[in-house]
């Protein structure tokens, strides 16, 4: 381990110590036991409190501020683990041995190239798209590259039309015409080279393909949007190191690589959040894991979810100085506007991820005047918010409050912050989709209909006069 990265471990363990001091250790017994369906629970708007399934993957205790993956607390995973190990843990349920980890990393490297998908992506105006939109597109292209699902349908239809006109071709021998026969032959050849699991696009292999592919595409998108060519990953660097390198074109320092690794671990999974739920809903229809991850990306980009990290940096720049914080905050509070990077549906205490990211942001900005200023504004704002909203409504900083400052200190532009969140969360999305599919039941809640009945259908000329309801 590099000397300076030991300091990072020290920072994490200090955050753990503080968390232990401030929180008690018993889990919530009512939320950590097998379910006897149907289950009684109190459900609020936005499905608050609704129990949708059992899981062994992760646990969030909002009142105490704990985050646990597969039984391990988040602080130990950050202090002693790597993102590759944590992804393996989430997916398989246990930490890998040396041999298992080596094999797993080899697989991730194999999938990292994604040449064909990157080439396809370059056919789109990436520089005019928001990176999250481009990432969603790229995920779809990965699916197409490996499964050919969409292309099958299209070509068969064309071939069917051709076949309908070709009376001269005997139906028994070439039912869909010569073009289709050639296509089918080529498809067969292509399929032979695709791993069994990838063909149906729902298995573990597809999950690993996505884990590496989404990271690789994020690097490519970061470059393409600046008019530069994607760069090849460096086999000497870790998953986290390559993410920084392929996005910025700059080899990360050991500290930057380690801090990015910690951040990826912190974001890898987080209960039934909106994007995880969106992925699971798509998977529950027996769609495929590429489209599930695409749904996760779509949900994550919103400012109430993963999109908040980008907004935090804009907000801190807008505040401008520590002195401006009280007046700025009072104005927002009087207008009842939300402060980005604060509050959480589950955490009604300090988010353990922010406990780690806050001191890391301090550490990373200590040498840089500009980012140090942003950090100082953030700390002052945190104090103001906790003093008022913390006391009144249990609102504390969440994971998005300090992550942007950390990424900005590495020279990463702010519209890539949410894609980095997505890269990490692929581990959680795919693990939970795989777990849910084992006992799958299609998601189908109800809405309470509160509209009218027995309305008469009006002729079109009368409609402007009827009242809207």
CB under 6 A: which stretch of 169-177, 217-225, 335-343, 461-469 binds ligand CMC?
A: 335-343
Residues 6+ apart with CB under 8 A from 390: 396
User: Closest approach of Cβ 390 to ligand CMC, in Å?
Assistant: 11
- Identify the residue among 2, 33, 393, 441 touching ligand CMC (CB under 6 A): 393
CB under 6 A: which stretch of 35-43, 212-220, 224-232, 302-310 binds ligand CMC?
A: 302-310
- Identify the residue among 395, 406, 410, 426 touching ligand CMC (CB under 6 A): 395
Residue 342, phi then psi, degrees to nearest 5: -125, 150
Nearer to ligand CMC, 196 or 392 (CB): 392
Instruction: Please give the residues from 242 up to 271 whose contact with ligand CMC meets the rule CB under 6 A.
Output: 270
Token digits for 83? 């993102």
Query: What 3-state class would DSSP assign to 458?
Result: coil
Nearer to ligand CMC, 229 or 304 (CB): 304
- Identify the residue among 19, 57, 207, 389 touching ligand CMC (CB under 6 A): 389
- Identify the residue among 18, 130, 199, 338 touching ligand CMC (CB under 6 A): 338
Nearer to ligand CMC, 196 or 337 (CB): 337
430: nearest Cα among 197, 242, 246, 231: 197
310: nearest Cα among 378, 384, 424, 405: 405
The yes-or-no answer on residue 344 being catalytic is yes
423: nearest Cα among 143, 108, 148: 108
CB under 6 A: which stretch of 124-132, 164-172, 184-192, 304-312 binds ligand CMC?
A: 304-312
Question: Residues 269, 288, 351, 400: which is the catalytic one?
Answer: 400
32: nearest Cα among 6, 8, 69, 60: 60
Q: Applying CB under 6 A, does 2 fall inside the site for ligand CMC?
A: no
Residues that bind ligand CMC (rule: CB under 6 A) add up to a total of: 21
Check residue 124 and report its DSSP letter: S
User: What is the number of alpha carbons within 13 Å of residue 392 lying toward its C-beta?
Assistant: 6
Q: Applying CB under 6 A, does 305 fall inside the site for ligand CMC?
A: yes
User: Closest approach of Cβ 308 to ligand CMC, in Å?
Assistant: 4
**Rounded to an integer, what distance in angstroms lies between the CA atom of residue 398 and that of residue 7?**
23
- Identify the residue among 62, 81, 138, 343 touching ligand CMC (CB under 6 A): 343
CB under 6 A: which stretch of 59-67, 216-224, 239-247, 332-340 binds ligand CMC?
A: 332-340
Q: Applying CB under 6 A, does 331 fall inside the site for ligand CMC?
A: no
With CB atoms as reference, the residue minimizing the distance to ligand CMC is: 343
Query: What 3-state class would DSSP assign to 139?
Result: helix
Helices 308-319 and 417-438 cross at an angle (nearest 10°) of 150
CB under 6 A: which stretch of 14-22, 61-69, 280-288, 341-349 binds ligand CMC?
A: 341-349
**Rounded to an integer, what distance in angstroms lies between the CA atom of residue 65 and that of residue 21?**
12
Q: Applying CB under 6 A, does 306 fall inside the site for ligand CMC?
A: yes
215: nearest Cα among 234, 242, 196: 242
**Cβ 402 vs Cβ 353: under 8 Å:** no
User: Closest approach of Cβ 22 to ligand CMC, in Å?
Assistant: 20
- Identify the residue among 5, 202, 206, 398 touching ligand CMC (CB under 6 A): 398
**Rounded to an integer, what distance in angstroms lies between the CA atom of residue 386 and that of residue 378?**
12
User: Closest approach of Cβ 201 to ligand CMC, in Å?
Assistant: 27
**Rounded to an integer, what distance in angstroms lies between the CA atom of residue 131 and that of residue 408?**
16
Query: What 3-state class would DSSP assign to 253?
Result: coil
141: nearest Cα among 118, 125, 111: 118
Place of tokens 């401006």: 324
User: What is the number of alpha carbons within 13 Å of residue 198 lying toward its C-beta?
Assistant: 19
Q: What is the 3-state secondary structure (H, E, C) of 338-357?
A: CCCCECCCCCCCCCHHHHHH
Q: Applying CB under 6 A, does 348 fall inside the site for ligand CMC?
A: no
Residues 6+ apart with CB under 8 A from 223: 229, 230, 231, 246, 247, 249
- What mask, x for binding ligand CMC by CB under 6 A, covers residues 12 to 51? ----------------------------------x-----
User: Closest approach of Cβ 393 to ligand CMC, in Å?
Assistant: 5
Q: How far, in whole angstroms, is CA 144 from its chain's centroid?
A: 21
Q: Applying CB under 6 A, does 400 fall inside the site for ligand CMC?
A: yes
**Rounded to an integer, what distance in angstroms lies between the CA atom of residue 265 and that of residue 85?**
9
- Identify the residue among 111, 239, 342, 363 touching ligand CMC (CB under 6 A): 342
User: Closest approach of Cβ 15 to ligand CMC, in Å?
Assistant: 18
Nearer to ligand CMC, 308 or 412 (CB): 308
The yes-or-no answer on residue 318 being catalytic is no
Q: Applying CB under 6 A, does 62 fall inside the site for ligand CMC?
A: no
Question: Residues 209, 270, 344, 351: which is the catalytic one?
Answer: 344
| Catalytic residue positions, numbered | 344, 400
Binding site for ligand CMC (CB under 6 A): 46, 270, 273, 304-306, 308, 338-345, 389, 393, 395, 398-400
């Amino acid at each position: 381990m590099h000397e300076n990265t030991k300091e990072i471990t020290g920072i994490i363990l200090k955050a753990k110590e503080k968390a232990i001091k401030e929180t008690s250790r018993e889990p919530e017994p009512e939320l950590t036991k097998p379910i006897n369906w149907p289950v009684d629970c109190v459900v609020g708007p936005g499905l608050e409190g609704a129990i949708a399934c059992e899981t062994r993957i992760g646990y969030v205790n909002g009142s105490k501020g704990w985050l646990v993956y597969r039984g391990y607390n988040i602080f130990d995973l950050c202090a002693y683990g790597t993102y590759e190990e944590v992804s393996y843990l989430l997916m398989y349920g246990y930490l890998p041995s040396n041999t298992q980890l080596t094999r797993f990393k080899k697989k991730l490297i194999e999938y990292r190239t994604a040449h064909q998908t990157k080439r396809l992506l370059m056919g789109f105006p990436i520089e005019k798209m928001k990176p999250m939109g481009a990432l969603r597109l790229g995920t779809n292209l990965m699916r197409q590259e490996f499964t050919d699902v969409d292309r099958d349908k299209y070509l068969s239809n064309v071939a069917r039309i051709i076949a309908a006109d070709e009376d001269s071709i005997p139906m028994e021998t070439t039912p869909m015409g010569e073009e289709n026969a050639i296509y089918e032959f080529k498809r067969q050849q292509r399929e032979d080279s695709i791993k069994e699991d990838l063909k149906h696009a729902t298995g573990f292999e597809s999950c690993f393909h996505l884990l590496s592919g989404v990271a690789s595409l994020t690097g490519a998108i970061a470059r393409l949007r600046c008019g530069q060519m994607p760069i090849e990953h460096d086999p000497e660097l870790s998953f986290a190191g390559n993410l920084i390198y392929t996005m910025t074109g700059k080899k990360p320092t050991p500290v930057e690589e380690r801090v990015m690794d910690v951040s990826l671990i912190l974001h890898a999974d987080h209960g039934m959040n909106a994007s995880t739920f969106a992925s699971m809903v798509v998977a529950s229809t027996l769609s495929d894991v590429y489209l599930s991850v695409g749904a996760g990306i779509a949900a994550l980009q919103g400012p109430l979810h993963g999109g908040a990290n980008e907004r935090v940096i804009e907000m801190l720049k807008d505040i401008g100085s520590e002195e401006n914080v009280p007046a700025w905050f009072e104005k927002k509070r009087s207008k009842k506007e939300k402060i980005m990077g604060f509050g959480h549906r589950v955490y009604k205490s300090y988010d353990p991820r922010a406990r780690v990211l806050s001191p890391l942001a301090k550490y990373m900005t200590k040498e840089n005047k500009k980012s140090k200023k942003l950090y100082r504004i953030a700390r002052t704002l945190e104090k103001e918010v906790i003093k008022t909203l913390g006391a009144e409504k249990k609102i504390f900083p969440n994971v998005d409050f300090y992550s942007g400052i950390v990424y900005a200190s590495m020279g990463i532009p702010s519209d890539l912050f949410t894609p980095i969140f997505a890269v990490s969360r692929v581990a959680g999305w795919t693990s939970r989709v795989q777990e849910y599919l084992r006992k799958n039941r299609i998601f189908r809640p109800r809405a309470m209909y509160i509209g009218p009945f027995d309305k008469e259908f009006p002729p079109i000329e009368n409609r402007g006069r009827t009242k809207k309801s």
